[in-house]
């Protein structure tokens, strides 16, 4: 027995019933050692098996027993590879470096090396998109070692432009390009960045960007439209810089983009002008489209729910050839839904293809397109009876809208983007991207004129909302080109990542865009205009029958049933909040005027910027240094003999520091400046006293970025102060009402907390909180009383929590539950001190059940059926939130 142990036949010492003496008679101990030493267990048993038969039948019996013991007492290494979301990762390359053995993980992420000799092993794990990892262990004979591993995404293998799809799944995202235009871990970006992944959007059954806003700290809805406040500063898709895959674009403002084709939505807080040009000082929204994946995946989902909602979505991706050098992704969406709001509906078709061409490991080309066709009505909000306190909010139902039945808003929106990245060497890379955005609008609407109708004395009538009408057809296009080089080098102990780039963007409104407007009161001369009580004889009057809140005539003291008021006749019929007269309107009877800035004159605006950046690393310290020079040009009277160039320029620095305190905790700080050009119409008007300098801003921010639970959970804290200067105010010059003065300062300061990821396997969580004190600190002569007023639709506090748990095993395997709550405190409506919106808190929940490839999902929102408002301009244009509603979704993945 001692001989067998010495020769490496471990694990058979208990086979005392076998007489191995015949082996000793035929071979000496030294011969045994020469034959068997250094060979694997399988090789030793094979040698035994092929010995001469004269060695005795008992020897053959021993051989078969030894072969059986190779299964029972196998020396092996096995394990499972998962990602940060606890999802198994297949096709991971697993190599035993010192033995040159290799294998790959299966569909469950498992791998196995069997029949190994005892000894020391180094195991290396590699997979595209993940950082390589390795483990070293010592293996004893007859031992099975379990090596489970969590792979983390690799920034080294990610290109500077997102070409192939994100490998992570779940609520947590590790890397972003928005903070530095290079693939950088979020914990190493010295600026707050909030994000929502597609998995969170799916779990909450979010349909539009406005549905996911509650998951961002410091971000709040302003209206129903693509219109938000970030840290108290308003941004919107029509006029403020927004990004698609890091490129400047716009959305058309009136409708929020659907999210079915998005990988994630992210917001870089504070001015981002140093990288992307003029932008809001509060932050910039970046929508990242889904990119092709190397493995085939297909999914279909069907949704039905409240307000006659029907929705169908599809997502297909995978390789188009065996070499996996051509990848595709196709997202499709169809929606037909009504609303809790009167007369409102949405019909949408979304087609979003994406192709990635990877001819070599150094060259990658991507094509993305998104086409969205929308048919709807434009919802201008709820109006209430004339009043200034919050009691007025409840005088009309939140369902009330002022549209006519024949109103419509038809839109087509498309984006086409191509991007190329080429790695000249391990240090030098080049990136080139082009994005074209197009928007076509056909609008007919009857809407509030932002005032109440007046009587003969000019006083408002509290239940009559003055209306105006628009007929608008317009087209708008933008082009955006971005090119930059990145270069890695070392100078002594300093590691540098240099970036040098140039951007050019232009926006055009071609000839043919036009708008007609009908408003005011009818005059006897056949025209229409604002009402002047001092010249009442110029206007047409009519008898208005006054009714009570039930639409019944109000009787006077004499019992007369028809109480009548003699009032000016509006050009567009007023909306009666008592009668709620949503009906077909004969718009041929309106007196229209053509807007002065429409008709055949095209509009042009363009900007170009040069920027440089260096990310310097020395041990635990990382410094980001950036600077941008931007030139903005607006061409007033474009393509006419009187064309006039109005130019503005800005020099924008950015400096940030990240210090790695521990493996889990980074401390950061940043100072950056931003700007926004003034309104082109103001700049082009010679009577305003311009041109004026751009609006400037700066950010001072510091905080913590931390990771816990092996990187599955992040917790970030930001403390900030933003200042904006250069706001224009009217000079109140009686001789020149257009004259402007450039004064004013706004300041926002606050604290934000974001917690995202998994607190345990199969248990996801998102927690956000923000305190934001956003006020006007300096104003113009006519608005001095606004100093100290909280900015519009900027709550001082807001927060959100959402969590989901899925049962991993047992009879209830695949069953999941989600629950969440969000709150917003009181907000001002516009800059009014007397009109404000109450705070609110909402509860939401969801149930999930997944079996094999099918998942059934049920979402219930606003469980308490709370009446609340997400934003508003004033009490004539309020934007209420939806009452209790549900959605049921069936998804099939194959």
- CATH code, 762: 2.40.170.20
pLDDT on residue 599 = 38
Task: Check residue 48 and give its pLDDT.
Answer: 54
Q: How far apart, in whole angstroms, are the C-alpha atoms of residue 451 and residue 462?
A: 10
- pLDDT greater than 90 at residue 408: yes
Burial of 503 (0-12, 13-18, 19+ CB in 10 A): buried
Looking at 128-132, 280-284, 692-696, 730-734, which range is the least confident one?
730-734
Q: Looking at the domain assignment, is residue 164 inside a domain?
A: no
138: which strand partners? 120
* Same domain membership, residue 774 and residue 862: yes
In this structure, the answer to whether residues 134 and 184 fall within a common structural domain is: no
**Structure token pair of residue 349:** 């078709």
Q: Does 872 reside within a domain?
A: yes
| Residues 274 and 319 both lie in one domain | no
Parallel/antiparallel/unpaired status of strands 101-104 and 133-139: unpaired
SS3 of residue 6 by DSSP: helix
Distance CA 324, CA 135 (A): 30
| 543 falls within a domain | yes
Same-domain status, 670 and 775: yes
Q: Report residue 220 as tokens.
A: 């709040």
Domain match, 429 and 392 both: yes
Given a cut of 50, whether residue 6 has pLDDT beyond it is no
Q: Strand 144-146 to strand 76-82: parallel, antiparallel, or no bridges (unpaired)?
A: parallel
- Cα–Cα distance between 708 and 759 in angstroms, integer? 9
The mean per-residue pLDDT over the stretch 496-512 comes to: 88
Average pLDDT, stretch 19-27? 50
User: What sign does the dihedral 221-222-223-226 (CA atoms) show?
Assistant: negative
Tokens of 574: 């007023």
Asked if 469 and 572 count as a contact pair (C-beta separation under 8 A), the reply is: yes
**Could you tell me the residue range of the domain that residue 123 belongs to?**
76-150
What pLDDT score does 638 carry?
57
**Whether residue 277 sits in one domain with residue 228:** yes
Nearest in space to 446 (alpha carbons), one of 418, 405, 502, 413:
405
Name the residue with higher pLDDT: 200 or 174. 200
Domain assignment present for 385: yes
Strand-pairing partners, residue 771, are 751, 797
Determine the Cα–Cα distance for residues 128 and 109; give it in Å rounded to an integer.
15
Q: Can you give the pLDDT at residue 453?
A: 95
pTM for this prediction: 0.81
155 pLDDT above the threshold of 60: no
Count the domains in the chain: 5
In this structure, are 631 and 663 located in the same domain?
yes
How confident is the model over 383-393, as a mean pLDDT? 92
In a domain, 155, yes or no: no
Classify residue 335: in a domain, yes or no: yes
Report pLDDT digits (tens) over 722-773: 999 987 766 666 677 678 777 778 999 999 999 999 999 899 999 999 999 9
pLDDT of res. 559 = 47
Partner residues linked to 725 by β-bridges: 696, 745
- 144-153: burial string, b at 16+ Cβ within 10 Å, e else: ebebebbbbb
Residue 20 banded pLDDT, cuts 50, 70, 90 = very low
Q: Is residue 119 part of a domain?
A: yes
Can you give the pLDDT at residue 82? 87
Residue 138: exposed, middle, or buried by beta-carbon count in 10 A (0-12, 13-18, 19+)? exposed
Give tens-digit pLDDT for 301-354: 999 999 999 999 999 999 999 998 999 999 999 999 999 999 999 999 999 999
Same domain, 130 and 234: no
- The average confidence (pLDDT) of the chain is 85
H-helix or E-strand spanning residue 680:
helix 680-684
Residues 232, 180: contact at Cβ < 8 Å? no
Residues 350, 452 within the same domain:
yes
Return the CATH number at 249.
2.170.130.10
- Asked if pLDDT for residue 787 goes beyond 80, the answer is yes
| 646, 680 Cβ separation under 8 angstroms | yes
Across the range 138-159, mean pLDDT stands at: 75
User: Do 464 and 613 fall within a single domain?
Assistant: yes
- The pLDDT, as a whole number, for residue 502 is 94
pLDDT-above-90 percentage for the chain = 58
Residues linked to residue 888 through DSSP beta bridges, in sequence order: 304, 858
Neighbours of 559 (CB within 10 A): 6
Residues 269 and 401 in one domain: no
Length of the chain: 894
Whether the Cβ atoms of residue 292 and residue 281 lie closer than 8 Å to each other: no
Does 601 have pLDDT greater than 50? no
Q: Given 267, 286, 305, which residue is the final one in a domain? A: 286
Q: Is residue 546 part of a domain?
A: yes
Amino acid 161: pLDDT: 46
Q: Are residues 459 and 569 in the same domain?
A: no
| CA-based nearest residue to 355, from 387, 322, 383, 317 | 317
pLDDT of residue 513: 82
Last residue of one domain, picked from the residues 54, 72, 90: 72
State which of 72, 99, 125 marks the end of a domain: 72
Considering only 3-17, 438-452, 839-853, which range has the smallest mean pLDDT? 3-17
């Amino acid at each position: 027995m001692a001989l067998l142990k010495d020769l490496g036949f471990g694990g058979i010492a208990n086979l005392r019933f076998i007489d191995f003496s015949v082996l000793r008679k035929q071979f000496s101990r030294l011969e045994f050692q020469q034959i068997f030493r250094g060979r694997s267990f399988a090789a030793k048993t094979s040698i035994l098996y092929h010995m001469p038969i004269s060695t005795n039948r008992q020897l053959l019996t021993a051989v078969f027993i030894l072969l059986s013991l190779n299964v029972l007492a196998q020396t092996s290494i096995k394990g499972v590879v998962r990602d940060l979301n606890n999802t198994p990762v297949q096709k991971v390359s697993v190599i035993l470096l010192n033995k040159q053995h290799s294998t790959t993980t299966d569909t469950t992420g498992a791998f196995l090396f069997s029949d190994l000799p005892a000894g020391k092993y180094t195991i290396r794990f590699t997979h595209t998109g993940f950082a390589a990892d390795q483990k070293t262990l010592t293996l004893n004979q007859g031992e099975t070692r379990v090596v489970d591993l969590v792979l983390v995404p690799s920034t080294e293998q990610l290109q500077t432009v997102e070409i192939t799809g994100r490998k992570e799944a779940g609520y947590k995202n590790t890397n972003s390009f928005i903070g530095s235009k290079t693939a950088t871990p979020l914990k190493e970006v010295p600026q707050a960045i909030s994000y929502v992944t597609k998995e969170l959007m799916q779990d909450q059954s979010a349909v539009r960007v406005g549905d996911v806003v509650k998951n961002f700290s410091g971000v709040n809805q302003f209206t129903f439209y693509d219109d938000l406040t970030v840290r108290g500063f308003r941004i919107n898709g029509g006029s403020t810089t927004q990004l698609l895959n890091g490129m400047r674009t716009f959305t058309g403002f009136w409708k929020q983009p659907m999210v079915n084709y998005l990988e994630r939505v992210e917001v870089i807080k504070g001015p981002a002008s140093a990288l992307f040009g003029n932008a809001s000082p509060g932050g910039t929204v970046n929508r990242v489209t889904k990119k092709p994946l190397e493995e085939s995946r297909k999914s279909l989902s069907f949704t039905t729910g409240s307000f006659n909602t029907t929705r169908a979505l599809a997502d297909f991706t995978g390789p188009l050839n065996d070499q996996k050098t051509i990848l595709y992704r196709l997202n499709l969406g169809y929606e037909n839904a009504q609303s809790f709001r009167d007369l409102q509906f949405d019909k949408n078709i979304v087609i979003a293809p994406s192709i990635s061409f990877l001819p070599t490991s150094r060259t990658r080309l991507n094509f993305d397109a998104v086409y969205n066709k929308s048919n709807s009505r434009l919802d201008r909000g709820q109006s209430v009876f004339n009043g200034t306190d919050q009691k007025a909010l409840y005088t009309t139902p939140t369902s009330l809208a002022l549209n006519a039945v024949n109103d419509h808003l038809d839109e087509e929106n498309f984006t086409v983007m191509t991007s190329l990245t080429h790695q000249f060497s391990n240090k030098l890379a080049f990136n080139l991207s082009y994005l074209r955005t197009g928007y076509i609008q056909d609008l007919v609407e009857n809407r509030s004129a932002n005032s109440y109708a007046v009587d003969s004395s000019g006083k408002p009538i509290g239940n009559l909302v003055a209306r105006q009408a628009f007929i608008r057809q317009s087209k708008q296009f933008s082009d955006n080109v971005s090119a930059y080089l990145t270069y890695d080098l070392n100078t002594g102990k300093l590691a540098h990542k240099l970036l040098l780039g140039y951007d050019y963007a232009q926006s055009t409104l071609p000839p043919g865009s036009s708008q007609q407007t009908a408003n005011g009161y009818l005059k006897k001369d056949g025209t229409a205009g604002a009402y002047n009580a001092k010249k009442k004889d110029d206007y047409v009057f009519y008898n208005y029958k006054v009714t009570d809140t039930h639409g019944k005539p109000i009787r006077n003291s004499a019992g007369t049933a028809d109480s009548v008021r003699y009032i000016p006749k509006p050009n567009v019929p007023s909306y009666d909040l008592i009668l709620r007269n949503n009906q077909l309107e004969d718009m041929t009877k309106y007196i229209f005027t053509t807007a002065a800035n429409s008709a055949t004159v095209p509009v042009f605006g363009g900007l170009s910027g040069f920027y440089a950046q260096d990310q310097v690393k020395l041990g635990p310290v990382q410094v980001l240094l950036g600077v941008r020079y931007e030139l903005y040009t607006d061409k007033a009277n474009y393509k006419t003999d009187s064309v006039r160039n109005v130019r503005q320029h800005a020099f924008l620095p950015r400096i940030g520091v990240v210090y790695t305190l521990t493996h889990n905790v980074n401390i950061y700080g940043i100072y950056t400046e931003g700007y926004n050009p003034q309104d082109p119409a103001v700049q082009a008007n010679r009577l305003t006293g311009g041109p004026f300098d751009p609006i400037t801003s700066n950010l001072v921010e510091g905080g913590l970025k931390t990771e816990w639970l092996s990187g599955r959970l992040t917790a970030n804290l930001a403390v900030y102060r933003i200042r904006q200067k250069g706001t224009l105010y009217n000079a109140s010059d009686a001789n020149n009402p257009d004259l402007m003065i450039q004064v004013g300062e706004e300041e926002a300061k606050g604290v934000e907390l974001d917690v995202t990821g998994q607190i345990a396997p199969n248990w996801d969580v998102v927690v956000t909180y923000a305190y934001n004190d956003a006020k006007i600190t300096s104003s113009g002569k006519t608005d001095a009383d606004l100093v100290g007023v909280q900015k519009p639709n900027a709550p001082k506090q807001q927060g959100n929590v959402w969590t989901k748990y899925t049962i991993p095993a047992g009879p209830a395997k695949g069953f999941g539950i989600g629950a969440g709550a969000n709150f917003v405190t009181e907000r001002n409506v516009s800059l009014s001190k007397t009109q404000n919106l109450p705070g609110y808190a909402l509860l939401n929940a969801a149930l999930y059940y997944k079996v094999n490839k099918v998942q059934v999902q049920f979402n219930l929102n606003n469980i308490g059926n709370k009446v609340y408002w997400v934003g508003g301009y004033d009490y004539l244009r309020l934007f209420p939130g939806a009452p209790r509603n549900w959605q049921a979704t069936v998804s099939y993945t194959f």
